[in-house]
Structure 1
Amino acid sequence: MKTFIIRSFIGIFFGGFIAVLITNLNILFGDFVMIDGTLFLKNSIGSILCGWFFTVSPLYFENRKLNLPQQTILHFLTIMVLYLILALSIGWIPFNIISVLLTILIAIVVYIIFWIAFYLYFKNQARKLNDDLKKI
């Protein structure tokens, strides 16, 4: 529970930071004189919620009762369902089938790339640790 709370705070603060950063960049480079307060609030809350569930959902990978395919499927489904609900309700994704399918396709490709990268990294770390243990 402590890990969940700590990760929640990290995700919430990171999401808030990203929202303010993107808003400031839009003001600096977008030639905005004034921002829409309602739109800022809506996007900030969306960014905070994204930060929260993107930092909490990897807890699936720490559950030893689940094997790696189960952890991966649960993580991906959790992220996709929460993100699609949030993005469609806020308006980040237009509410039509092509946009939703394109978002899912892009998410699958990006998820596979990141999953393989993390898998290879941790496999390499495990190999290094095993090699060091053999030297002892």
Structure 2
Amino acid sequence: MAATALATVTLTSVDHSAFNVTSIDLAKLLKGPLALDGSVTFYGTKAGTSTPVVQKFDYTGSWTTFLFNANFTGLSSLSWTQGALSRYEFDNINVTAAVPEAQTWAMLLAGLGMLGWMARRKRA
């Protein structure tokens, strides 16, 4: 898929849940001796905190798979802008649902334990 020149592409989940991005395939769209290699910068926003994360990839003529760093987890959005002269195609964006962190599970279990303890205490 290719975006139009100077267009910004933004990904969000339909249900506004957090997601992780692991990789993307990029290739140069314009071919020939006057076509420039280029780079594209991806901007992510962390869900809940709105903390920005940024990563830049340099691409050439052939399809290349680029891996995102570990900061691209728990995102609420991912965006990038197509250049005017150094245009590219993208494909195979690997996105997965964010898995709750261990602290979240621990708080859930502690809360359920407290509810059970309070219910048992009321019966006694």
Q: TM-score, normalised on structure 2?
A: 0.33
Higher helix share: 1
The higher-RCO structure (CA 8 Å, 6+ apart) is: 2
Larger radius of gyration: 2
Q: TM-score, normalised on structure 1?
A: 0.31
